Amino acid sequence: MSPRAFVPEALTTAQVEQLVEAAHWAPSASNKQPWLFAYALRDDANWAAFSNIPNEANRRWCLNAGALIVLLSDKQASAGKHSFDAGCAWGYLALEAHAMGLATHAMGGFSAEEAQKVLGLPEHLMPECVIAVGRQGDAASLPDDLREREVPSGRKPLAEVISAGAVKSAA
pLDDT category, 151, cuts 50, 70, 90? confident
- Residue 161 lies inside a defined structural domain of this protein: no
pLDDT for residue 127 is more than 90: yes
- Residue 90 lies inside a defined structural domain of this protein: yes
pLDDT for the residue 170: 62
How many independent structural domains does the chain possess? 1
Q: What CATH number is attached to the domain comprising 65?
A: 3.40.109.10
| DSSP E strand stretches across 25-98 | 35-41, 67-74
Q: What is the pTM of this model?
A: 0.92
Among 10-14, 68-72, 74-78, 118-122, the least confident range: 74-78
- Residue 80 lies inside a defined structural domain of this protein: yes
Domain residues for the domain of 120 are 13-146
pLDDT for residue 171 is more than 70: no
